[in-house]
A = this chain, B = another copy of it.
Amino acid sequence: MEENVASLLKKNGIKATPQRLAIYNILKNTKSHPSAETIYKGLSKQFPTMSLATVYKTLGLLSRIGLIQEINVGEDSFRYDANTAPHPHIVCLKCKRVDDVGGYDVPQSYDTIAKNTHYKILSHQLYFYGYCPECKKGE
């Protein structure tokens, strides 16, 4: 898996540096949809000299070659996800937690919508908003 990423980077003429692999692995091994800042902090022990600019550059790079996706929940900063398949997300309005949603997604055939809008449709994003299990206790 990590091997795959390294070779995929090389195939694109991009060097497989430890920083890049570490950033990708963080995303691959979490369900928390972290922000650039969160990833940066999470790597500070392993890479004390890691630059925040490197994190941003790497996230942009990985997005560009389709290894991760950028998701925008509407507040503050971007979140990142190693699951590049279209899938819905749910956002806690209080603590800003972002989770995956199972059990529902938009039909993958865009034909009807394309006919109605006359757009050529490539992708979609579906977001739900509400209160997570923790935050809904305090209403």
Q: Could you tell me which A residues sit within 8 Å of B by CB distance?
A: 70, 72-75, 78, 90, 92-93, 99, 101-104, 106, 110, 112-133, 136
Contact = CB atoms under 8 A, between A and B. Distances in A.
In the complex, the count of this chain's copies comes to: 2
A4 to B, nearest CB: 27
Contact of A129 (B78, B125, B136): B125
A89 to B, nearest CB: 10
- Secondary structure call for the A interface: mixed
Nearest to A136: B120
Given A101-B113, A116-B101, A90 B129 contact: no
Contact of A119 (B75, B119, B133): B133
